[in-house]
């Protein structure tokens, strides 16, 4: 051990704050989460760890957390850290309503969360939050979709589509290739599901998807509807593979 990773608020000589980098490592090991912006919709999706047979799944909170009526957050990393962070965000959302008599904007909540995460990289006796978040939603009286990303270091940024957590790199590449301007709701949902399927092994049972629309509360997609989308995407994939194979045979 170099010694520079013992106390949080100490730089290593080459300018690294190791604890923050370790936190990013925890994020990389977390289950995958995806956010995609459409024309007038934001879709957030995440991997759901399959529950053991005897485990009561109700006690495991979903990774899609409503922060307020119009803002939803999903995360990758340590579930326990997320709980605390999300509760702080919810409190801030309600505080904003009381103090300003208006719902908070998505950017405001993002800044608040990122600010909190930053504080935990510069204080004594604490460790950083081991989570990255994707925050989606619509500002009050606005049809413009918002999607933000925050990191343990306190960085935040706005995205058209983004993925965090395990194998997020692969998903990123897919999103880069397939994301386009002005997607309708169905297309956006399909893209989100498709990118999640890249990561999740056992298909439909292990993903959760929420659709956010302007001036509405989020809708978590029902299992059978999700099944239908997954089946459609898998059929498409199978057909493509078949075509590829037949073409190859043709070439031979």
The footprint of another protein (CB under 8 A) covers 61, 66-68, 87, 90-91, 93-95, 97-98
Buried b (16+ CB within 10 A) or exposed e, 153-183: bbebeebebbbbbbebeebbebbeeebeeeb
- Which residues have a Cβ under 8 Å from the Cβ of 28 and sit 6 or more positions away? 165, 166, 168
- Closer residue to another protein, CB minimum distance, 67 or 209: 67
Query: C-beta of 119: minimal distance to another protein in Å?
Result: 22
61 and 85 Cβ atoms separated by less than 8 Å: no
d(CA 186, CA 74) in angstroms, rounded, equals: 20
Nearer Cβ to another protein (72/153):
72
State the Cα–Cα distance between residues 222 and 227, nearest whole angstrom: 9
In the complex with another protein, the residue whose CB is nearer, 90 or 127, is 90
Give me the sheet containing 161-164, strands edge to edge.
Answer: 161-164, 33-37, 42-47, 207-212, 219-220
Q: Name the residue nearer to another protein (CB basis): 110 or 121.
A: 110
In angstroms, what is the minimal distance from the CB of 116 to another protein?
Answer: 17
Alpha-helix residue ranges (DSSP H) falling in 54-209: 79-100, 106-119, 168-178, 185-199
Query: At closest approach, how far in Å is the CB of 61 from another protein?
Result: 8
| Closest C-alpha among 190, 216, 208, 220 to residue 71 | 216
**CB of residue 91 to another protein, shortest distance in Å:** 6
Distance of closest approach, residue 95 Cβ to another protein, in angstroms: 7
Pick the closer one to another protein by CB: 26 or 67.
67
């Amino acid at each position: 051990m170099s010694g520079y990773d013992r106390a949080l608020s100490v730089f290593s000589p080459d300018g690294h704050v190791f604890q923050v980098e370790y936190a990013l490592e925890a994020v990389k090991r977390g289950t995958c989460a995806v956010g995609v912006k459409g024309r007038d919709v934001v879709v957030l999706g995440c991997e759901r760890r399959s529950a053991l047979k005897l485990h009561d799944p109700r006690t495991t909170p979903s990774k899609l957390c409503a922060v307020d009526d119009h803002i939803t957050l999903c995360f990758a990393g340590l579930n326990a850290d997320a709980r605390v962070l999300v509760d702080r965000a919810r409190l801030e959302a309600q505080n904003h309503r009381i103090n300003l008599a208006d719902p908070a904007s998505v950017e405001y909540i993002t800044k608040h969360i990122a600010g909190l995460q930053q504080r935990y990289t510069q204080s004594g006796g604490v460790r950083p939050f081991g989570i990255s978040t994707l925050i989606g939603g619509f500002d009050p009286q606005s049809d413009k979709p918002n999607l933000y990303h925050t990191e343990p270091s306190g960085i935040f940024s706005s995205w058209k589509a983004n993925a965090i957590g395990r194998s997020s790199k692969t998903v990123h590449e897919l999103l880069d290739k397939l994301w386009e301007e002005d997607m309708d709701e169905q297309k956006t949902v399909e893209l989100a599901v498709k990118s999640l399927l890249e990561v999740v092994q056992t298909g439909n049972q292990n993903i959760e998807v929420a659709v956010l629309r302007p001036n509405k509360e989020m809708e978590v997609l029902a299992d059978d509807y999700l099944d239908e989308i997954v089946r459609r995407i898998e059929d498409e994939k199978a057909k493509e593979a078949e075509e590829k194979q037949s073409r190859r045979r043709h070439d031979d």
